[in-house]
């Protein structure tokens, strides 16, 4: 492994490097024995203008966009270039527990005349999977992951099993009183809230989760292999974090909240069924006063739980 020119690395469920061979460490400037988070490695190399070429003025916006896709599918292949002039073909293979195998090969000499066309193709795919304003996953991408989640549910799963069996959940997240924010403070503040919300929630999602904006102030969070109890705890942390956020520097007293509706995937669900149950749970949370989690009204915990 150490002697090959092929670059090989393994990242764990937290996206921390757990193994990298010599070729990989050299390409991305990693010291022997170092175990950085992938995001920290990219941030460090971006500042030093080495490793992966990142064509973006705002690194954090670029990072948020990439994290919306990284680790969200079982297998992903793409091309990328390095500051040292090399062009790489890279693959990411995911395990269900969030561990990832990365393999990169030098393809600098292969048909450089077609590189621009391949880049344009990759950029078009990225654009279709990314929300323009917030930089997180688009409606199209997150809804495809909702459909994939439904397909994994065993046909004989009992209705209440989602509470204790990690089949997966979906949450619909909606910023509270967003129309009032737009009307009172203007659309520029509304946009700032949307971007702050996306960035705050994205920092808290796990590697295998998918957060996407589906329209206006509504977002969807897909949580594979997750029980209702686990999902409720995750969203509870998100509620607390958003309460502390201050998205408008000029108005330090300005704050906002959101509400969430949570539903566990069940046998026989189609994507519309699961989404509808999460949306009804969101409506119940709004009716109870907002800034809290509503649990699927068809499940055994119909009353939900307050988030504060």
Q: Which of 247, 240, 231, 256 is nearest to 175 (CA)?
A: 256
**What is the sign, positive or negative, of the torsion defined by CA atoms of 181, 185, 186, 190?**
negative
Catalytic residue from among 92, 129, 217, 232:
217
Main-chain phi, psi angles of 227, to 5 degrees:
-80, 165
User: What SS3 state is found at 45?
Assistant: helix
Other beta carbons less than 10 A from residue 208's beta carbon: 21
User: What SS3 state is found at 266?
Assistant: coil
Distance in angstroms (rounded) separating the CA atoms of residues 169 and 281: 13
Contact status, residue 262 vs residue 169, Cβ threshold 8 Å: yes
DSSP H or E run through 235: helix 228-244
Q: Name the token pair of 185.
A: 């403070």
- C-alpha 75: how far from chain center: 16
Contact status, residue 167 vs residue 265, Cβ threshold 8 Å: yes
- Count of residues for the chain? 308
Give the angle 99-101-104 at the CA atoms, nearest 5°.
155
Other beta carbons less than 10 A from residue 61's beta carbon: 14
Known active-site residue 217:
yes
Alpha carbon distances (Å) from 232 to 168, 189, 247, 263, 293? 12, 29, 25, 10, 7
Distance in angstroms (rounded) separating the CA atoms of residues 239 and 210: 17
Q: Name the token pair of 235.
A: 């969203």
Q: Name the token pair of 93.
A: 């293979």
Catalogue the active-site residues: 217
């Amino acid at each position: 492994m150490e002697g090959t020119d092929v670059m090989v690395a393994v990242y764990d469920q937290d996206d921390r490097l757990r193994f990298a061979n010599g070729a990989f460490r050299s390409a991305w400037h990693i010291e022997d024995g170092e175990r950085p988070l992938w995001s920290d490695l990219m941030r460090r190399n971006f500042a030093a203008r080495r490793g992966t070429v990142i064509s973006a003025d705002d690194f954090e916006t670029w990072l948020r966009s990439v994290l919306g896709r990284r680790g969200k599918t079982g297998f992903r292949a793409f091309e990328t270039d390095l500051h040292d002039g090399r062009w790489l073909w890279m693959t990411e293979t995911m395990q269900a527990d969030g561990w990832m195998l990365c393999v990169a090969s030098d393809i600098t000499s292969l048909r450089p005349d077609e590189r621009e066309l391949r880049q344009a193709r990759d950029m078009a795919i990225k654009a279709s999977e990314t929300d323009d304003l917030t930089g997180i996953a688009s409606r199209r991408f997150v809804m495809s992951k909702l459909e994939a989640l439904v397909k994994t549910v065993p046909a004989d799963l009992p209705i209440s099993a989602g509470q204790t069996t990690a089949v997966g959940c979906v949450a619909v997240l909606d910023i509270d009183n967003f129309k009032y924010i737009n009307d009172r403070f203007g659309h520029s503040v509304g946009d700032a809230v949307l971007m702050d919300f996306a960035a705050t929630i994205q920092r808290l999602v796990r590697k295998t989760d998918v957060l996407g904006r589906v329209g206006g102030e509504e977002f969807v969070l897909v949580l594979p292999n997750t029980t209702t109890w686990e999902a409720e705890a995750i969203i509870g942390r998100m509620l607390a974090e958003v309460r502390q956020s201050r998205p408008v520097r000029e108005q330090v007293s300005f704050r906002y909240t959101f509400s969430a509706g949570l539903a566990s995937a069940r046998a026989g669900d189609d994507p519309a069924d699961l989404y509808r149950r999460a949306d009804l749970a969101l409506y119940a949370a709004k009716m109870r006063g907002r800034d809290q989690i509503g649990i699927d009204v068809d499940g055994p915990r119909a009353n939900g739980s307050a988030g504060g």
